[in-house]
Amino acid sequence: MATIGVVDTTFARFNMGKAAVDEIQQNMSAKIIRRTVPGVKDLPVAAKKLIEEEGCEIVMALGMPGSKEQDKICAHEASTGIIQAQLMTNTHIIEVFVHEDEAKDENELVFLMDQRSREHALNVVKMLCRPEKMIKEAGTGQRQGFEDVGPARM
Binding site for ligand RDL (CB under 6 A): 9, 11, 38-42, 63-66, 70-71, 74-75, 94-97, 99, 102, 116, 143-145
Which residue number places its CB atom closest to ligand RDL?
A: 39
Taking the complex as a whole, the smallest distance from the CB of residue 26 to ligand RDL amounts, in Å, to 20
Range 19-22 contact pairs with CB under 8 angstroms and sequence separation of 24 or more: 19/113, 19/114, 19/117, 19/118, 19/121, 20/60, 20/62, 20/96, 20/117, 20/118, 20/120, 20/121, 21/121, 22/118
- Give min distance, CB of 127 to ligand RDL, in A: 10
**Interatomic CA distance for residues 78 and 88, integer angstroms:** 15
Q: Which is closer to ligand RDL, CB of 29 or CB of 114?
A: 114
CB of 41 to ligand RDL, least distance (A): 3
